[in-house]
Amino acid sequence: DMPEVVSVSPDRVLKPHLAQGIPLIKAGTVRSTYNGAGVAIAICDTGIDTSHPRLGGGGFPNAKVIGGYDTGDNDSDPRPNLVEGEAHGTSCAGIAAGDLGTVEAYIGGVAHNAKLYALKISTGNTGSAYESDMIEAWEWCITHQNDDPTHPILLISTSFGGGYYTALCDQASPLMTAAAANAVAA
């Protein structure tokens, strides 16, 4: 009844919707004609939880996550801390190439037969990364592109950024621009 109140709505519980996401990004057609066999996707993010049943279900490396490195902490284990670590990279890996299977809204990744490389660019459990660690991960992908010749790294996924741009942003970080160009050339 107060004039300052425009409306009142219930605060509903929301859940992730991968099953709806694949059609919304128009990946259903691609997924039905190409399943990722014979390629690898490098996920440069907060690491991949390789114990997840749709991402190999074991240690590192495993049958799905076949390699990687932690450029954020400079060590050979690119998995997040399972207690305190960020799950963003695990989520990105599942969307890109998680094995098929239905669990609630999960239906498998877009390129479910692709292999994965985990590149943890974040520092510790922070969920944030330095540009230099992202660049190092991209360079690692170039250097290790053919570690498994039957599954070469042909895609690099990075969903980190340092600002909001509405136009060309190459001048904002010339080093990242050069590293991206090197990855495309490779």
| Mean pLDDT to the nearest integer, 56-70 | 97
| Mean pLDDT to the nearest integer, 15-27 | 73
**CA within 13 Å, CB half, 145:** 12
pLDDT(153) > 70:
yes
pLDDT value of residue 13: 67
Mean pLDDT, the chain, rounded, equals 90
| Mean pLDDT to the nearest integer, 6-33 | 77
Q: Looking at residue 128, what DSSP letter applies? A: -
pLDDT value of residue 41: 98
Q: Mean pLDDT check: name the lowest of 17-21, 93-97, 150-154.
A: 17-21
The pTM (predicted TM-score) of the whole model is 0.87
* Helices and strands, number each (H, E), in the chain: 5, 4
Q: What are phi and psi for residue 154, nearest 5 degrees?
A: -115, -10
pLDDT(104) > 80:
no
CA gap 150, 61 in Å, rounded = 16
pLDDT value of residue 14: 62
pLDDT value of residue 182: 97
pLDDT(102) > 70:
yes
Q: How confident is the model at residue 170 (pLDDT cuts 50, 70, 90)?
A: confident
Max mean pLDDT among 13-27, 38-52, 71-85, 105-119 falls in: 38-52
**88, amino acid identity:** H
